[in-house]
Chain A
Amino acid sequence: MLLVRLRTVTFLLCLSALTSCGTPASSFSTVDVRAAQPAAPAQGQIPLPNKSDTLKFAVIGDNGTGEKAQYDVGQQLAQWHTKFPFVLVVMMGDNIYGADRPQDFVKKFEAPYKAVLDSGVKFYASLGNHDSREQRFYKLFNMDGKLYYSFKAPKEDVRFFALESTYMDPDEVKWIDDELKKSNDKWKIVFFHHPLYSSGKTHGSQVKLRDVLEPLFVRYNVSLVLNGHDHTYERIKPMNGIQYFVEGSSGQLREGDLRRGSPLTAFGNDSDRTFMLMEIDGDTLTFNTITGSGSVIDSGVITRRK
Chain B
Amino acid sequence: MQMFFAALAVTVALGIGQSTAKPPAQPPPTPVPPTQVPPAQVPPDKRAPTASPKKSVNPDDPNAAIIKDFVKRVDVYVALHKKMEATLPPLPKQTTPQIIDQHERALAKLIQAGRKGAKQGDIFTSQMQTLVRRLLLPIFTGKDGAHVRNEIMDAEYKGNVVLTPTGRYPDEIPVSTVPPQVLQFLPKLAEELEYRFVRQNLILFDPHAHVIPDWVPQAFK
Contacts and interface: CB of A to CB of B under 8 A. Distances in A.
A86 interface: no
Interface residues of B, number: 40
Contacts of B94: 137-139, 142, 144-145
B130 interface: no
A170 B207 contact: no
Given A167-B183, A203-B154, A133 B44 contact: no
Interface of B is mostly: loop
Interface stretch (B17-25, B60-68, B98-106): B98-106
A137 B104 contact: no
B184 to A, nearest CB: 8
Interface in A48-102: 97-102
Interface residues of A, number: 40
Interface in A207-221: 207-209, 211-212, 215-216
Interface stretch (A25-33, A124-132, A258-266, A271-279): A124-132
A199 to B, nearest CB: 15
A137 B171 CA distance: 18
B174 A102 contact: no
Contact of B41 (A100, A133, A212, A216): A212
Contacts of A173: 40, 44
A167 B178 contact: yes
Given A98-B157, A144-B93, A170 B144 contact: no
Given A137-B92, A203-B150, A209 B175 contact: no
Contacts of A106: 97
B96 interface: yes
A132 B175 CA distance: 7
Given A131-B175, A133-B207, A100 B40 contact: no
B12 to A, nearest CB: 15
Nearest to B152: A129
A155 to B, nearest CB: 23
Contacts of A142: 94
A263 B41 CA distance: 25
Given A131-B175, A208-B144, A137 B95 contact: yes
Contacts of B179: 208
A174 B39 CA distance: 12
Contacts, number: 103
Contact of A129 (B93, B96, B98, B175): B175
B181 A208 contact: yes
A169 B175 contact: no
A130 B175 contact: yes
Given A98-B174, A133-B207, A208-B144, A170 B39 contact: yes
Contacts of A45: none
A134 B97 CA distance: 9
Given A170-B39, A194-B177, A208-B179, A139 B96 contact: yes
A177 interface: yes
B180 interface: yes
Given A170-B44, A211-B41, A212-B40, A145 B178 contact: no
Interface of B: 39-41, 43-45, 91-98, 100-101, 104, 144, 147, 150-151, 154, 156-157, 171-172, 174-181, 183, 188, 194, 207-208, 210
23 contacts: A100-B97, A100-B171, A102-B101, A104-B97, A105-B97, A106-B97, A129-B174, A129-B176, A132-B207, A137-B100, A138-B96, A138-B100, A139-B95, A145-B93, A168-B40, A168-B180, A170-B40, A174-B44, A177-B43, A177-B44, A202-B154, A203-B150, A209-B180
Given A134-B100, A166-B178, 20 more contacts: A98-B172, A99-B171, A99-B172, A101-B101, A101-B171, A102-B101, A104-B97, A129-B174, A129-B176, A133-B175, A133-B207, A134-B104, A134-B210, A137-B94, A138-B94, A144-B93, A166-B177, A168-B180, A173-B44, A203-B151
Interface of A: 97-102, 104-106, 129-134, 137-139, 142, 144-145, 166-170, 173-174, 177, 194, 202-204, 207-209, 211-212, 215-216
Leading 6 A-B pairs by shortest Cβ distance: A145-B93, A139-B94, A130-B174, A105-B97, A102-B97, A129-B177
